[in-house]
Structure 1
Amino acid sequence: MGSESSPSRTQKPKVWVRLVAFVAVLATAWHIFASFLWIAPPSPLREVVPGNALSSYMIPMFGQSWSVFAPEPINGDFHFNVRAKVPGDDGELRETGWVSATDVELSMIQYNLTPPRAGLQSSEVASSYKNAYDKLEQVQRTTVGGNFAVDDWLVGLEAALENQAESAQQDSEEGEQAQPNTAEIEQLVAEERRSTAYATQVARAIWGEEVEEVQYRVSRQNVVPFAQRHNDNAERPEPTVILPGWRGPVIEEGQDDGNFAATFRKQYERNAE
């Protein structure tokens, strides 16, 4: 006579398992919601996330760009080049050659299934700088091309740009008074600081801590025009180049020159082999 099998009882998950699952669900829901807000066109819905919480969460790890799609897909690339002035054996400053920070960084992500974020920094710096530069008046762009290598040079650059804006305002015809481009100046100065700080790190990684001045070159080159895509002899247009003057080094508080130099110089030397 066979024995009857007792019904199996499903054990409830332990408390810590349920707690972990609950936290994971909340984290997933928040990430999906934050990504939606970030990708969607700006709207009052973003105000449900206070302060800079949304941008602080999304940047730099989860930032997304949909500009690879129509109607305005990416049609060019940016380059960021750096050179420096360092003391020679005789104590006089000498200029180094140009180094493409972008080429060094791109070599980190080519053929890499897990590309590091470090492979995109210079391209983003160059793009942001050109965007700010293009908003300036022509006379202000000429000023940016001058050398500002003294102490507190950022203050001097901003003052020079503001004076030019005020002069343009005073010289404008009555009834058509121009407004000073204060917002554009502030954006350019912020990008100057960011770009110079990055160029300083690159220069110190390659030529050491004795770097006295740095200069960077920003360029953008379009791809072959769409109409010529089937032309085997088509060539890319000449790049648009922005060449600010020499700048005094900028070292931001809390930056880790050691880790940056160890990563960047190793890749730079690998490319030079």
Structure 2
Amino acid sequence: MPRLTLKTTFVVAASLVALSQLTAVTLASLPPNRYSNAAAPHTTYLSPMFTQNWRLFAPNPIAEDRRILFQGSYRAADGTLKQTEWVDWTDVELDLVHHRLVGGRAGYVTNKLFSPLGARYGKLLDAQRHVAVTTEEKDPPSWSELRKSLLAAGPSRPDSVEVYLRYERATIRLATEVLESRWPDRTFVAVRYSLNRQRVTPYDARHGSKQEREAARPREIRRVGGWRIPEVGSKAEQRVIADFDRRHR
């Protein structure tokens, strides 16, 4: 029997890893069925980078406006905690669509984050949701502390907590970089976000005046997340966010 060389062993191992990844991505991207549902517990590591929204292939008219806003808490010169105004980052991102006739039309980040943030929060138990939204502004928990508190609050599957925290951390990282680009002279001690959604004016009220259409529109619904420790990416990432903010707000 021929002896395996180190090169052959490496090629075989790399091929198996690539095949496993390809299989996982394929199962995760299939339309919902018994096979994709059975594989779901083993493909959660793909979120949030490799998930696919199947509405791409069955577009529907926009039924509601969705926005993600960021707010930071910082320590003022007198030692007290103060909060920034809410920054509507979705509005900044939409400048690409509203005011740029030429250029990229890629989906904006907050549009991709909105639904998963709500869905992952919805999979938590009631006690875990309470833990998630009642963290203190003056002393937000570390990510490991928050994970322990969520797991201790209920017997839900650990992967529900892990994926929820993955989206939370990605959103807080974006929020921190946005807030630091707006207020570079402030040191933030806590950051949070708000999910705002408002249904469009009902079809039957479409012919009214602007005031009548606005009056007929359902009220806006907000869900404000808990305070989190600031999360900062690389220097290059921070520069990109700051540059984007300057060009589009």
Give the TM-score normalised by the residue count of structure 1: 0.62
Q: In structure 2, how many angstroms separate the alpha carbons of the residues matched to 1:153 and 1:194?
A: 14
Shift of 1:244: 1.3
- Given candidates 92, 114, 139, the residue that maps to 2:80 is 92
Is contact 2:140–2:227 with CA below 8 Å preserved after alignment? no
Indicate how the Cα distance of structure 1 residues 92 and 252 shifts in structure 2: closer, same or farther if over 3 A, else same.
same
Partner-residue secondary structure (3-state), 1:248: coil
Q: Which has the larger radius of gyration?
A: 1
Amino acid across the alignment from 2:147? E
1:183 aligns with 2:164: no
Structure 2, unpaired ranges of 5+: 1-25, 36-42
Partner of residue 66, structure 1: 55
Q: In structure 2, how many angstroms separate the alpha carbons of the residues matched to 1:93 and 1:117?
A: 39
Partner of residue 232, structure 2: 251
Structure 1, unpaired ranges of 5+: 1-36, 45-51, 167-179, 269-273
Is contact 1:81–1:99 with CA below 8 Å preserved after alignment? yes
- Given candidates 172, 175, 180, the residue that maps to 1:196 is 172
Partner of residue 239, structure 1: 220
Amino acid across the alignment from 1:128? P
User: Residues 36-185 of structure 1 correspond to what in structure 2 (within 5 A)?
Assistant: 41=31, 66-67=55-56, 69=58, 74-116=62-104, 120-147=108-135, 153-166=142-155, 180-185=156-161
Instruction: After superposition, give the CA deviation of every residue in 1:78-122 in whole Å (9 maximum; x if it has no partner).
Output: 211111122323343311111111111112321423344677112
Indicate how the Cα distance of structure 1 residues 151 and 231 shifts in structure 2: closer, same or farther if over 3 A, else same.
closer
Partner-residue secondary structure (3-state), 2:72: strand
Q: In structure 2, how many angstroms separate the alpha carbons of the residues matched to 1:90 and 1:65?
A: 51
Shift of 1:76: 2.0
Q: In structure 2, how many angstroms separate the alpha carbons of the residues matched to 1:133 and 1:151?
A: 18
Instruction: After superposition, give the CA deviation of every residue in 1:19-49 in whole Å (9 maximum; x if it has no partner).
Output: xxxxxxxxxxxxxxxxxx89874799xxxxx
Is contact 1:217–1:244 with CA below 8 Å preserved after alignment? yes
User: Residues 201-216 of structure 1 correspond to what in structure 2 (within 5 A)?
Assistant: 201-208=177-184, 210-216=187-193
Indicate how the Cα distance of structure 1 residues 83 and 151 shifts in structure 2: closer, same or farther if over 3 A, else same.
closer
Indicate how the Cα distance of structure 1 residues 134 and 122 shifts in structure 2: closer, same or farther if over 3 A, else same.
same
Is contact 2:96–2:105 with CA below 8 Å preserved after alignment? no
Shift of 1:161: 1.4
Indicate how the Cα distance of structure 1 residues 266 and 230 shifts in structure 2: closer, same or farther if over 3 A, else same.
closer
Is contact 1:67–1:73 with CA below 8 Å preserved after alignment? no
1:220 aligns with 2:203: no
Is contact 1:222–1:237 with CA below 8 Å preserved after alignment? yes
Give the TM-score normalised by the residue count of structure 2: 0.67
Indicate how the Cα distance of structure 1 residues 73 and 118 shifts in structure 2: closer, same or farther if over 3 A, else same.
closer
Give RMSD over aligned pairs.
Answer: 3.5
Q: In structure 2, how many angstroms separate the alpha carbons of the residues matched to 1:222 and 1:188?
A: 25
Shift of 1:205: 0.9
Instruction: After superposition, give the CA deviation of every residue in 1:219-272 in whole Å (9 maximum; x if it has no partner).
Output: 22222345x36563453322332111211101235752122112213433xxxx
